[in-house]
Amino acid sequence: MELNDIGKSFALFVATAIAELIGCYLPMLWLTGKGTTWLLLPAAASLAVFVWLLTLHPAASGRVYATYGAVYIATAIAWLSVVDGIKPSWNDYLGAAVALLGAGIIIIGNKS
C-alpha cells in the first residue's frame, strides 16, 4: 500500500469514526435529557452515513475493521477533548498510540 493510499484510507477512517460518534452521541444527549427527540433524526442519518462509509473501505473487511478500530479509538480520544471538554490523560494518549501502532503494523505488514 502506497503512502498516498494510506493517507486516503486514514482520512476515510476518521470520517467514518466521526459519523459513528455523532450517531451515538446525539441519542445519548436525548436519553440524558440534554436534548430533544428531534436529535434522533440526525443521529439516524449519521449512522446511515457511517454504514455507507464502511462500504467504501477496501476489501478484506476483517483487516479493515481492525484498523478502523484503532482510528476510532484515537478519534474518540480527540472527541473527548473537543466535544466533551475533558482533557485526555497520558493513559488516553498512550492507549491511542498503541492502537495506532498496531493498525500501522497491520497495514504496512500486509503484502497480499
Task: From 64, 66, 86, select the one nearest 76 (Cα to Cα).
Answer: 86
Residue 6 pLDDT greater than 90, yes or no: no
- Report residue 61 as a C-alpha cell: 473487511
Residues 10-40 as b or e (16 or more Cβ within 10 Å = b): bebbbbbbbbbbbbebbbeeeeeeebeeebe
Residue 54 pLDDT greater than 90, yes or no: no
Asked if 53 and 19 touch (Cβ cutoff 8 Å), the reply is yes
Asked if 1 and 108 touch (Cβ cutoff 8 Å), the reply is yes
Residue 3 pLDDT greater than 70, yes or no: no
**Residue 75: what pLDDT?**
95
Q: What does the DSSP 8-state code read for residue 57?
A: S
Radius of gyration of the chain (CA): 15
